[in-house]
A and B are shown apart, each in its own frame.
Chain A
Amino acid sequence: MYYRLIINIFLIAWLVIFQLSFIRALPGWFMYLDIIIVLLVYIISLAKLRTIWWWVIGTGVLLDFLAFTPFGLHLLSISVMAAVVYYLKNSYFTNRSLYSFLALTISATLSYRLLLGLLNIITALAVSAPMDAFISQFFWLVQGRIIVMNMIFSVLFFYLIIIFTKRYRPVFID
């Protein structure tokens, strides 16, 4: 029990550190990859509710501690994203095909990034700060690039899982 908890905490910390330090420092479009969101989509799709909850809370809290947005914004955005993905997975994308994972990745990225942007705007209004202090002029272009990179990584991750587990199929069958 405690052994698994420690392993999970270690993995969450490593994932957040890897995203914030390594991915952000990469050149070109690689910096737009949001590996946390993609891996959370797979965890939400494959793990038990209890594990999902710990991963969502863990990544959210750690991001809030390390990021420079008002505390709670990442935690709230990731929680809502997880709820959206969980609902879509159980209601619409029920088979574990590549297309389902891609659709879930897009939904997750959009719900997380848009909610984070919206909460930033609300924060800006709450503290009467100029909007451009919180929202970039390239907001939509950046979101587009993040979605593209997340989809590419999602495809790679899916095929990695296929190679190692042979549990999933890349197309719809039913």
Chain B
Amino acid sequence: MTGLRKKYIVYTAVLIGLLVFLQTIGALRPAERYLSRGLNPLLTTIYSWGTNINTTYDEQTSKADLWQQINDLQAETNQLISKNAELKVVEEENAILREYFNYFDNSGYEHILSRVISRGDITNVTGRTESILIDKGLADGLSAGLAVVNEQGVVVGKVAVAKEASSLVRLVNNRKCKLAASVLSYEATNGITEGELGLTIKMNFIPQEVEINKNDIVITSGLEEAIPRGLVIGKVSEVKKENNELWQSAQLTPLMDTNNLLIVSVIKP
């Protein structure tokens, strides 16, 4: 029996060594690609079952907050109606300008649609998703550093690691997801956003002299090579400004629910 156990220990050690060696030299890549490609549809389907349960659970637990949200939304809707009227005029101007500058031909983003196949590893205690796995990878032209957006064009995160047929995306509420950002109304304002406790986003390194207000929209600054300027990251919910500090910081509210992502787009530069 002891001999048999030793035999299995030796088998295991040799197999692990061999597999790690083969993976290092890239010999397992085809196997990994076919395996991922084969399993991805199944992973996607099963992930959507779990997400549906998650959504139902969230709906049930958040009913108590709904009344407050309705009141807040009503006020916000009134503001948006007047804002919308202003924007209609700008939109007409914009349509004409686009024709002139052929905007889409010059700077239209190339998107790769991708399905979410799993959450990343469990790293927080808030229950919020901080990373996701998607079913597109190196074989589809993805690489680390690319921006990932949802169906409304809001940044959900950034590709952290790309494998043959899948990629790990760190979401904007993840502490390890850092994005070069600007405040929409102030062209020159630059800072860096990172997730905080899996719940919100924090924007650091904003110069003290810049005036930032609640509800300002924060966008990508375009300082990162792989991420274009102008993708919406979040909305300012609180500004922290200390006179004795070199920089000020702002707390942002993400404009999407990280727990219910099913399909995302990766923007290629």
Contact = CB atoms under 8 A, between A and B. Distances in A.
Interface of A: 13, 17-18, 20-28, 31-32, 49, 53, 56-57, 61-62, 64-69, 71-72, 75-76, 79, 83, 86, 132-133, 136-138, 141-142, 145-146
A10 B44 CA distance: 18
Contact of A72 (B5, B16, B32): B16
B124 interface: yes
B139 interface: no
Interface of B: 4-5, 8-9, 11-12, 15-16, 19-20, 23-24, 28, 31-32, 35-36, 39, 42-44, 46-47, 49-51, 53-54, 57-58, 117-125, 127, 133, 160-161, 163, 166, 168, 175-176, 259
Given A18-B46, A71-B20, A66 B53 contact: no
Contacts, number: 114
A130 B7 CA distance: 39
A22 B47 contact: yes
Decide if the interface of chain A is mainly helix, strand, loop or mixed. helix
A132 B175 contact: yes
A133 B106 CA distance: 36
A21 B47 contact: yes
B23 A49 contact: no
A72 B175 CA distance: 26
B20 A65 contact: no
Contacts of A31: 119, 122, 127
Nearest to A141: B125
A53 B125 contact: no
Contacts of B43: 17, 20-21
10 contacts: A22-B47, A27-B54, A31-B119, A31-B127, A49-B5, A53-B12, A68-B133, A68-B160, A71-B24, A137-B175
Contact of B12 (A13, A79, A133): A79
Given A66-B36, A75-B19, A76-B16, A17 B42 contact: yes
